[in-house]
Structures are given as C-alpha cells and as structure tokens.
Structure 1
C-alpha cells in the first residue's frame, strides 16, 4: 500500500472512531447526566425575603426512564418556594400517571405551568436535517389539528393541588410578603399563543406592596418575549430549545428550533434588559434521544432583593 493511501486510511479510521465515540457519548452517557444549574438574581423589591424558584422544562418522559425519574424525585429535596414548568412534560399517554407520582411532592408546593407541543401531540420520527432550516416546522402548522395525547388529563394532574394553568391567561400566587403575578401563553411553536389582555392601570398593589412579575412560555419566540417585556415582566422563563441539544465547542448551539439567537439557546441572558432563563430541559424526543455538550438540566433560581447601599 502506498504511504499516502495508508495515511488516508488511518485518518479515515480515526474519523470513524471519533464519530462512533461521539454517538455513544451523546446517546448513552450525556443524555443521562442530569444536572442542577443554580442561578442567583437580585430582582426582588428591597426588603423582600429570598425566593427559590425551581424551573422545570422538556422532561419528555417515557415511563421506563428510571434515571430521569430518580432525578425528578431528588428535586423535591430542594424545597423550592415556587415551581415553574415550561412544558413538553411527556412523550406518551402512559407517562402521565408516572409523572404525577414522581412530581407529587413538588405539586404540593406553589407552582404554575404552560403547555408545549409534546404535551398535546405524540412525538414522531423526523429528519434531523429539518432543524437546520430557517423554520423547522412543517407547512400548515397553524392548524395542528386535534391533540393526539390526553392533554386534559395532564392538565388536571398538574393542577389538582393548586398549580396554576397559565394557558393564555394570568394568575397570581402569594408567597408570604411577595405577590407573584404570572402571565403565560400556549405553545408559541404551534402558534397557539395569545397574550392576555393587560391588567387595568387601576389594579391595586397588595397591602405589603411587593410584586414580582413573571412571563412564562414554552418556546421563546421573539414576539412572545417582546410581549412579556412590554407587559412589565421582571423575569421570563422558557424552554423548548434543549439548549441546542447538540452543541459544538467554540460554536455553541447549532440550532434553537425557534427564532431566538443561538447564543441564548440555554441559560440566563437578558431580553431588552429583562432577565431571561431558557432551560436546556431534561429530555428529548424518544426518536432523537441524545445530547452533546448540553446535559439535561433543571434550574434553581434564587431571587433576592438588591444589596443594601454602603453607608458613607
């Protein structure tokens, strides 16, 4: 064999080996590397006690995913003051009772949720190359049809202990000296989002005067983020992107599956000056159950009041 051909064969073999190793890591290791990401924000009114917000998203649960269930069960030990779920909880109808059982301790705490497309429609095999298009959604998505999953049952199980359903609506939760005013929308990826009417200017403040305004959506499309900012949100929470699901060192997320910039595909950033937390989520479709350089996560946000100014 000529040296050049031998070298090419070695390089090709190394390339195939690297590709195989990457596949094994993404499909069998990283997809199970469940991580708690912790964030601190000083956005509460002065003098307000700290609040721990647990942000869950994109669980995509199948009933046999025991390591994911163990991680979800462990999260209840955090004892958050508030839980926000930004959708895509399930990947099959059989997952609903399993999800409700493992979330039971968290469902007893104050919380709220919005829906994602996979709370309504069963996942289907897709061509991964579609996500590289400017719009990965199939034509006619503005009329997705009747849900193929029992979304009503899921909604009932998530709300039976008091979690607020934020589907195109507003709600509020009192957290001992802090009123959390929530506004949410149905899944923007399916173009089901309808921003609720603004609160009347005459809406009174609570007696203690302390208010935190949260905007909640599954998919962080620009139009939705703009609406939350215009509505006066202090913090916006979303999911959907899976953090890009596949990330390349030095490049980051290759796609976001929406129109948010790739650099904001996961983690804490700002949108028009308002803090935005995009969860990389805890799972993926069973037909593309892999991750690379973006492990599955939940987020614990500790919200605090500003630091007191130094006395001069």
Structure 2
C-alpha cells in the first residue's frame, strides 16, 4: 500500500515545481526575445522586395540585436525598407543609438510611434492596462477612442528624433506621401502620424500607384485607396498566451499577422523590441522582420482565421440591419 507524502514534503514539492516553472518560463521568454523570425508576405502588385519592421525600442542592451537585424535586412537585398515607429524606449534615451539605421543598404522610410512622442493611454498600472485593452477593442470597431489618450505629447522630442533619423538615412513621413522606385516600378508610401499622440491625419491627393499606408497603431478603416496597410505597436501581444489567442481568434483584438479590411490586406507585425521591461522578454511572440514580395494574390501568416472573420462579418451585417 502506497503512503502519502507528509504535508511539509508536499509543500516543498509544490514549491520546487513552481520555482522550476518560473525559471523555465523566464528562460523561455528571454530566449524568445533573442531569436528572430522572417515572415514572408506576398502581395499582388508589389513591384519589388520590401522589408518592413517596427518597434525596435533601441537602447544600449538591445543595440547588438538591432545591428544583427540590419545585417539580416541587407542579406535580403530589398528595394525598400519601411519602419513602423517606436524607435525609442522612453524619454531621455540616447538618440545617437539610432545611427544603427545608417548601415542599411536600401532607402528607408518610416513613421513615428507613441513612444517617439512620449504619448500613451491615460492611467498607470492595472488601470492603464484595462484602458489600453478597452481602447483597442473599441478602436477596431470604429469608435472614437481619443478620450483614452494621454494629454501629454512631446512634439519637441519627436522633432529631435526625426532630425537624428533623417541624418542617418531614414525619411520620416508625418501625414504625407511620397512615390519612390522599388524593383521594376513605383510605390506610393503614405505615412500617417501617430494616433495616440493625436497627430494622425490622412493626406489628400494620393496618386494611384501601388499604395502602402503605414500607421503605428493598427487602425485600418480609414484608407480605402490603400493596396496594403502596415502597422506595428502590438508586439504580437508580447506574451502570446491562451487568453490573448482566444480574443484574437474571435476578432476582439488584433495582435499580429495578416487581416483584412474588406478587400484590403492589413499586416500587423510583432515588431522587434519590448517596452515594458528593462530587458527583452517575450513569450510566443518572437521578434519579426517582414519580407513583402511580389506574388499572385495575397498570402502570409494569418491573423484572424477566415471562419472567424466571416462569422464576425455576418454579425456586423445583422447588427447593421
């Protein structure tokens, strides 16, 4: 007959299991943040290879990783490189670290993100996290969420960052468009300035070339003339655990991958860096470089599954009636 462990031993056994789980999970989060995945997105009409990345959050302890990203970008031989904002980690960062982008062997265009303006969601701690989640859900369903944004916006800091980026070969688009050569044709890039900073506006008279919209926060309902919309900001959820996966699968949030706004493809990258911790930690949301290649139709890593998307579209149609 088997004997039960004495209660003190049961507690010690449980403590060992919890400690092992904590150490293993922390190690896995550190490992995930240090790896790099290249995701391929094929889009009909793309005139040449384009590389897209976002959320580098450059600081001294991830600068070597950023240099490795630049090396991988150059090895891909893109016609064009696009960066979707959040270059910095927080106010007071050493902006000279942004020199890393000067090593890219292709034209580079970018938009700014909320960290680049020191702008965010009102509140801190649990209050801020809840407000952030509510803002994303409401924004994705076309509600005006400007009341959630903080009242502070450091335009001077953004201007200083833009000057450093321009000095290092990065052209920053702030509610403006430009047509540039890529591969065998032209691409019109439309850069929408940061939404959380309250600076977003859609420029007028965008020409009819293959048109890519870039906006840091993934808002995509305003751009009917786009052929492709690119966003970042979400970090892929950063900790892509089951609750986030479920919310993503039913369309309440969008953490990363390929989605659709009608017939317009929207790609939200998991980005490169993190912004919640002094060190890089991710779980199930590996840092990502996105390669956009010419192809037939549109294909790439999926966001909302088609069945869930169709179901939600049906619900919206019923509600509209």
With the shorter chain as reference, the TM-score category is 0.7 to 0.9
From 194, 198, 203, the equivalent of 2:201 is 194
In structure 2, C-alpha distance between the alignment counterparts of 1:254 and 1:156, rounded to whole Å: 41
What is the aligned partner in structure 1 of residue 186 from structure 2?
A: 179
In structure 1, C-alpha distance between the alignment counterparts of 2:187 and 2:149, rounded to whole Å: 33
In structure 1, C-alpha distance between the alignment counterparts of 2:112 and 2:54, rounded to whole Å: 10
From 206, 214, 217, the equivalent of 2:215 is 217
Compute the displacement of 1:212 (Å): 0.7
What is the aligned partner in structure 2 of residue 287 from structure 1?
A: 277
Residues 13-22 or 295-304, more deviating = 13-22
**SS of equivalent residue, structure 1 residue 158:** helix
In structure 2, C-alpha distance between the alignment counterparts of 1:261 and 1:198, rounded to whole Å: 33
In structure 2, C-alpha distance between the alignment counterparts of 1:132 and 1:142, rounded to whole Å: 14
**SS of equivalent residue, structure 2 residue 118:** coil
Are the equivalent residues in 1 in contact too, given 2:119–2:154 (CA < 8 A)?
Answer: no
Change (3 A) 1:246 1:272: same
Show CA shifts across 1:135-182 (max 9, x none).
Answer: 3799773532434x7322321233347644221122211336422112
**SS of equivalent residue, structure 2 residue 21:** helix
What is the aligned partner in structure 1 of residue 66 from structure 2?
A: 69
In structure 1, C-alpha distance between the alignment counterparts of 2:247 and 2:160, rounded to whole Å: 32
For the aligned residues, what is the CA RMSD?
3.4
From 222, 225, 245, the equivalent of 1:227 is 222
In structure 1, C-alpha distance between the alignment counterparts of 2:75 and 2:216, rounded to whole Å: 25
Are the equivalent residues in 2 in contact too, given 1:36–1:298 (CA < 8 A)?
Answer: yes
Residues 265-274 or 133-142, more deviating = 133-142
**SS of equivalent residue, structure 2 residue 162:** helix
Residue-pair matches, total? 279
Change (3 A) 1:63 1:13: closer
Compute the displacement of 1:36 (Å): 2.1
Show CA shifts across 1:178-231 (max 9, x none).
Answer: 2211222111133321122244xxx6x6xxxxx21111100013xxx1111x2x
TM-score (norm 2): 0.74
Change (3 A) 1:255 1:59: farther
Compute the displacement of 1:115 (Å): 0.5
From 207, 230, 240, the equivalent of 2:233 is 240
Are the equivalent residues in 1 in contact too, given 2:54–2:83 (CA < 8 A)?
Answer: yes
Show CA shifts across 1:268-299 (max 9, x none).
Answer: 22222211111101001163641111111211
In structure 2, C-alpha distance between the alignment counterparts of 1:254 and 1:188, rounded to whole Å: 26
TM-score (norm 1): 0.76
**SS of equivalent residue, structure 1 residue 68:** helix
**SS of equivalent residue, structure 2 residue 159:** helix
**SS of equivalent residue, structure 2 residue 22:** helix
Q: Does 1:29 align with 2:56?
A: no
In structure 2, C-alpha distance between the alignment counterparts of 1:132 and 1:272, rounded to whole Å: 29
Change (3 A) 1:68 1:129: farther
In structure 2, C-alpha distance between the alignment counterparts of 1:254 and 1:126, rounded to whole Å: 25
Are the equivalent residues in 2 in contact too, given 1:246–1:254 (CA < 8 A)?
Answer: no
In structure 2, C-alpha distance between the alignment counterparts of 1:197 and 1:132, rounded to whole Å: 35
Are the equivalent residues in 2 in contact too, given 1:131–1:255 (CA < 8 A)?
Answer: no
Change (3 A) 1:175 1:3: closer
Note the 1:254-269 alignment, pairs <5 A: 261-262=252-253, 264-269=254-259
Compute the displacement of 1:261 (Å): 3.8
What is the aligned partner in structure 2 of residue 208 from structure 1?
A: none
Are the equivalent residues in 2 in contact too, given 1:244–1:255 (CA < 8 A)?
Answer: no
Are the equivalent residues in 2 in contact too, given 1:247–1:294 (CA < 8 A)?
Answer: yes
